[in-house]
Amino acid sequence: MKVKVIVTLKNGVLDPQGKAIQQTLNGMTFDNVSEVRQGKYFDIEVNESDESKAKSQVEEMCKKLLANLVIEDYKIL
Amino acid sequence: MKSSVIIFPGSNCDRDMDVALKKFGFENQMVWHNDAKIPKSDLIVLPGGFSYGDYLRCGSIAGKSRIIKSVMDFANSGGLVLGICNGFQILTETGLLPGILQQNKYLNFICKNVFVKIKNKENKYFKKIKKEVLELHIAHNEGNYFCSNDELKSIEDNGQIAVTYCDSKGNDNEKNNPNGALKNIAGIFNKNKNILGMMPHPERMIDPFLSGEDGSLFFKNLIESL
C-alpha cells in the first residue's frame, strides 16, 4: 500500500526558503501572504497490505531517516 | 600515526585531506564507504563535499552507510573522529554530535576565509596551538548550526563549543557571524572531546604560497597530541 508523509520544520525554527518565497509572493501582488513554511512530501510504496503495520513501519522510517527530529516534525497522512 | 579518510559518493575534499595528513606525518589510508571495517587507525576523518548530492538533508544518507557502524564503534570507544564541513553534517546526522547544520541564514553559498576563535584547548585537537584565533576557509550552503535551548545549555556547560566565528581579534559577536549559526558556533565536540565536527577546512590552509598556514598548526598539533 501507499503511505504519504509530510515533513515540516518545527514551529519556531527559522525557514529562510519559506521567507524568501513569502517575500516573492508579496512582490507578485499576493500581498496578503503573511507567512510561508516549506516542507517535504514523500509517497512511499510499502509491500504490506495491513494498513496499521505499514504505517508503523513508515513511522520508524520517519524517526530514523526521513525527518531530523532536532528541527523537523512528520505527519503520516 | 595512522589515519583513515572515508570516501562517500560525492566527497570532494578527501584528497586534500589525504595530502594534509601525509604532509604532517600521518600514514593515511583511504577507506570506501561501503567497506564493513576500518583498518587500524588512530584518527578517522569524514571529509568535506556533497555526499549523495546532499539529498534529503546534508549528510543524512551518508550517515546510514555501511562503514558508519564501525566509525560509531571507534568513536564510542574513545577514538578520535574528525568531521570537516560535510563530515560535520554527517556526524550530527548519526547523532555522534548534537544539533544540526541548517541552510545559511541568507540563503547564499559562502566561500571565503574566516577567523575562528578556539574556545576550548583541553583536548587533543587544539591542546598545543599557541594562537587563540585561526584563519581558515569555509565553503558551504548549510553551515548554520542549530540545536534546542536545552541542548545548547548542555553544550556550553560541558565545554563542547570548539570554535566560533570571529574577527581577526577574536570578537565572536553577531557581526562576525557568516551564516546565522547559533552563538557563532563553527565547530563542536562530543562530551568526551574525542569527536570534533567543524565547518572550516584546515586542510585548505597548509601552504604559505597558496593560502595561509593556520591549518598547518592544526595538523601539527594533532600528530603531536596523539
Which pLDDT score, from 0 to 100, does residue A8 have? Answer: 96
Instruction: Compute the distance between CA of residue A58 and CA of residue A45 in angstroms, rounded to an integer.
Output: 10
Which pLDDT score, from 0 to 100, does residue A14 have? Answer: 86
> How much of chain B is in helix, strand and coil states, percent to nearest 5?
30, 25, 45
Q: Does B102 touch chain A (CB under 8 A)?
A: yes
Is B100's CB within 8 Å of A71's CB? yes
DSSP 3-state assignment of B196? Answer: strand
Confidence band (pLDDT; 50, 70, 90) for A51? very high
Does residue A42 register a pLDDT over 90? yes
Which pLDDT score, from 0 to 100, does residue B83 have? Answer: 98
With beta carbons under 8 A apart, name residues in chain B contacting A17. 103, 107
Q: Does B190 touch chain A (CB under 8 A)?
A: no
Which pLDDT score, from 0 to 100, does residue B136 have? Answer: 97
For residue A63, give how far its alpha carbon lies from the nearest alpha carbon of chain B (Å). Answer: 12
- Domain regions of chain B by residue span: 2-225
Minimum Cα–Cα distance from A68: chain B residue: B93
Q: Does B141 touch chain A (CB under 8 A)?
A: no
- Domain regions of chain A by residue span: 2-76
CA B121 to chain CA centroid, nearest Å: 16
Q: Cell 578556539 sits at which residue?
A: B118
Is A70's CB within 8 Å of B147's CB? yes
Confidence band (pLDDT; 50, 70, 90) for B84? very high
pLDDT of B7-35, one tens digit each? 999 999 999 999 999 999 999 999 999 99
Does residue B94 register a pLDDT over 90? yes
Does residue B119 register a pLDDT over 90? yes
Arithmetic mean of pLDDT, B144-170: 97
Joined grid coordinates for residue A61: 522510517
Average pLDDT taken over every residue of chain B: 97
Instruction: Work out the angle at residue B204's Cα, subtended by the Cα atoms of residues B21 and B212, and round it to the nearest 5 degrees.
Output: 110
Minimum Cα–Cα distance from B56: chain A residue: A66
Which pLDDT score, from 0 to 100, does residue B210 have? Answer: 85
Is B146's CB within 8 Å of A71's CB? yes
Which pLDDT score, from 0 to 100, does residue A66 have? Answer: 97
Residue B104 burial (CB count, 10 A):
19
Does residue A16 register a pLDDT over 90? no
Which active-site residues of B does the annotation give? 85, 201, 203
CATH of domain A2-76: 3.30.1280.10
Output the pTM of the full model.
Answer: 0.94
Please state at what angle helix B68-76 crosses helix B86-94, rounded to 10 degrees.
80
- Predicted-assembly ipTM surpassing the 0.85 threshold: no
CB-count exposure of residue A48 (10 Å: 0-12, 13-18, 19+): middle
Does residue A12 register a pLDDT over 90? no
Strands B185-189 and B195-198: antiparallel
For residue B18, give how far its alpha carbon lies from the nearest alpha carbon of chain A (Å). Answer: 30
Arithmetic mean of pLDDT, A57-74: 96
Q: Does B29 touch chain A (CB under 8 A)?
A: no
CATH architecture designation of domain B2-225: 3-Layer(aba) Sandwich (3.40)
pLDDT of B181-214, one tens digit each? 999 999 999 999 999 999 999 999 999 988 899 9
Q: Does B147 touch chain A (CB under 8 A)?
A: yes
Would you state the torsion angle of the CA atoms of residues B37, B41, B43, B47, taken in this order, to the nearest 10 degrees?
Answer: -40
Query: Which of A36, A61, A65 to mutate to test binding with chain B, by most B CBs within 10 Å of its CB?
Result: A65
CB-count exposure of residue B155 (10 Å: 0-12, 13-18, 19+): buried
Does residue B80 register a pLDDT over 90? yes
Q: Which residues contact A42 (CB under 8 A, 6 or more apart)?
A: A4, A5, A6, A7, A66
Minimum Cα–Cα distance from A7: chain B residue: B56
Which pLDDT score, from 0 to 100, does residue B213 have? Answer: 93
For residue A8, give how far its alpha carbon lies from the nearest alpha carbon of chain B (Å). Answer: 13
| Sign of torsion over alpha carbons A30, A11, B181, B200 | negative
Is A68's CB within 8 Å of B105's CB? no
Query: Which of A17, A71, A72 to mutate to test binding with chain B, by most B CBs within 10 Å of its CB?
Result: A71
Instruction: Compute the distance between CA of residue B218 and CA of residue B206 in angstroms, rounded to an integer.
Output: 9
Strand order in the sheet with A72-76: A39-45, A2-9, A72-76
Is A14's CB within 8 Å of B102's CB? yes
Minimum Cα–Cα distance from B107: chain A residue: A16
CB A66 within 8 A of CB A59: no
